[in-house]
């Protein structure tokens, strides 16, 4: 799991690592766990504790499952459920995809909430501050601070427009400003003006890789904080 995937918000409990657990063994188990869903071509990522990771399907819901040693157990509800299917995580992985699909989609699940930017309008100004490289695609990331300077801004504008982002270029710094978009922009994280000292945290937004929250209440609390800072934000839960 990368560093972003370790960050979890909401009321998730993070079990402590067993005494004497070997970090290399845990990492090996998690690689096999991630590979299982890759083999099934399922958009699942691991977040939270390395020792007891949560499984998130397509940024939408938490899979009712847990790992113990090299065994993956699926349950019939998010908390305190009964085990309905188990499999061993091994090098020559075998699985019953149809059975796993039943476990994912035939039982109640906990849906994730996300903070979204409802609209981009004055006095708020968002600029391209970087790009995410995901699954072979390149996706712009927007914020109010630390915009990128783009010497090839005119060509970049054309590409952004084709992707659904209507932008303009500031006259002097060649920064790219977002004017409007038909994309849903999610809160994806925070940057700092001075990362080493943690000075002035500010939010960043993108159409991909949203921060996810395990409760609507936590997401709403974050959205309300951003509203106080001038961001017109709301909360969505995809059920």
DSSP three-state, residue 206: strand
Asked if the model's pLDDT at residue 88 lies above 50, the reply is: yes
Supply the pLDDT for residue 17.
43
Whether residue 60 has pLDDT greater than 90: yes
To the nearest whole number, what is the mean pLDDT of the chain?
A: 87
- pLDDT over 70 (residue 20): no
Q: Which of 78-82, 113-117, 220-224 has the lowest mean pLDDT?
A: 78-82
Is the confidence at residue 59, as pLDDT, over 70? yes
DSSP H or E stretch at residue 71: strand 71-75
User: Cβ contacts of residue 33 below 8 Å, gap of 6+?
Assistant: 46, 53, 55, 67, 72, 89
171-223: per-residue pLDDT in tens? 667 889 999 998 999 999 998 887 666 557 899 999 999 999 999 999 999 99
Secondary structure element (H or E) that encloses residue 34, with its range: helix 23-39
Read off the pLDDT of residues 129-171 as tens digits, 9 standing for 90 and up. 999 988 778 899 999 988 888 877 778 888 899 899 999 988 6
Domain boundaries, the chain: 4-111, 114-237
Contacts of 155 (CB under 8 A, 6+ apart): none
pLDDT at 156 (0 to 100): 87
Res 75: pLDDT: 97
Q: What is the pLDDT of residue 218?
A: 96
Q: Give the whole-number percent of the chain exceeding pLDDT 70.
A: 88
**pTM for the predicted model, two decimal places:** 0.81
């Amino acid at each position: 799991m990368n560093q972003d995937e370790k960050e979890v918000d909401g009321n998730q409990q993070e079990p402590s690592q067993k005494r004497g657990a070997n970090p290399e063994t845990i990492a090996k188990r998690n690689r096999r766990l991630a590979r299982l869903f890759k083999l099934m071509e399922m958009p699942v990522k691991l977040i939270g504790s390395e020792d007891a990771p949560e499984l998130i399907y397509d940024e939408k819901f938490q899979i009712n499952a847990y790992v113990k040693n090299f065994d993956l157990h699926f349950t019939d509800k998010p908390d305190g459920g009964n085990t309905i299917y188990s499999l061993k995580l091994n090098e020559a992985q075998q699985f019953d995809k149809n059975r796993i699909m039943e476990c994912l989609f035939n039982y109640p699940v906990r849906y994730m909430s996300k903070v979204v930017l409802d609209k981009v309008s004055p006095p708020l100004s968002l600029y391209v501050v970087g790009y995410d490289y995901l699954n072979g695609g390149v996706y712009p990331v927007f914020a109010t601070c630390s915009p990128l300077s783009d010497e090839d801004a005119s060509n970049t504008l054309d590409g952004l427009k084709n992707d659904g982002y209507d932008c303009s270029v500031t006259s002097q710094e060649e920064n790219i400003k977002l004017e409007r978009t038909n994309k849903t922009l999610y809160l994806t994280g925070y940057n700092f003006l001075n990362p080493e000292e943690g000075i002035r945290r500010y939010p960043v937004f993108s159409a991909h890789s949203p921060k996810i929250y395990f409760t609507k209440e936590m997401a709403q609390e974050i959205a309300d904080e951003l509203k106080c800072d001038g961001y017109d934000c709301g909360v969505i839960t995809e059920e």
